[in-house]
Amino acid sequence: MLRTATNSGLHQFVGERILSRYARTGVRAADLGAGPGAMADRLRSLGCEVVAVDRDAVGFEAEVPHRCLDFNEPDFASQLGIGKFGLVTAIEVIEHVENPIAFLRNVGKLLAPGGVAALTTPNVDCLPARLKFLVSGKIRTMDEYGDPTHISPIFFDLLQRQYLPAAGVRLREHLIFPPNGFQLTRKPLAWGLRVASLAFSGRSILGDNHVLVIEERS
């Protein structure tokens, strides 16, 4: 199994909860932000015709075709194929781009009729993130200790009300990972925060990652 740079278990969660329903033999799939190629390899194993896409091919190990593209380009979808893919994956990618709405718009352009995209991104709405911002004014996973290429936090309410409509896509499904707690928080504290989360409304209060299934707006 190829290594991943994401939270432990996230790829498996996406595979079990999303790809199991949409990935099948003959489906054309694009894995955006492929990295070493773990998700692209998973799609290939499910029978998809996969192209892996990233800014460069450094460290790429999967045995599938690879394309080098910059997701900050305003129309990168045209270089892959408009309406050519039944399935697009972008695992922990959107928070790295300069313009999340433009990225979502390009993802929508890639989708064939009836196609879907599976995206994940750090959950900056969760209770640990809210507490961190309250105490320090800094965004969880995006401060000086986080990945320096995390530049675009995705707030779920803003995503639903503004980003998705502006991009011409809509949300089909919203999941969180892990479903019932926090993986990035020390266990004793994570347990206490899980209990405290019962006092708050909204599913985004739990989980370290948003897991989104989007489709073109009809």
> Closest Cα partner for 206 from 118, 94, 125?
125
- Identify whether the C-beta of residue 134 lies closer than 8 Å to the C-beta of residue 196: no
Q: How confident is the model over 173-190, as a mean pLDDT?
A: 83
Is residue 189 predicted with pLDDT exceeding 80?
A: no
- pLDDT of the residue at 4: 66
- In tens, the pLDDT along 97-147 reads 999 999 999 999 999 999 999 999 999 999 999 999 999 999 999 999 999
DSSP structure string for 202-215: SGGGS-SEEEEEEE
Sheet strand arrangement including 111-122: 66-68, 49-54, 28-32, 85-91, 111-122, 209-216, 169-177
> pTM of this prediction?
0.93
- Looking up tokens 């996406």, which residue turns up? 14
Q: How confident is the model over 161-169, as a mean pLDDT?
A: 98
- pLDDT of the residue at 75: 97
- pLDDT of the residue at 40: 97
Q: How confident is the model at residue 6 (pLDDT cuts 50, 70, 90)?
A: low
Is residue 159 predicted with pLDDT exceeding 80?
A: yes
Q: How confident is the model at residue 193 (pLDDT cuts 50, 70, 90)?
A: confident
User: What domains can be seen in the chain, in order of their start residue?
Assistant: 10-216 (3.40.50.150)
- In tens, the pLDDT along 30-73 reads 999 999 999 999 999 999 999 999 999 999 999 999 999 999 99
Is residue 176 predicted with pLDDT exceeding 70?
A: yes
Q: How confident is the model over 191-199, as a mean pLDDT?
A: 74
- Identify whether the C-beta of residue 96 lies closer than 8 Å to the C-beta of residue 73: no
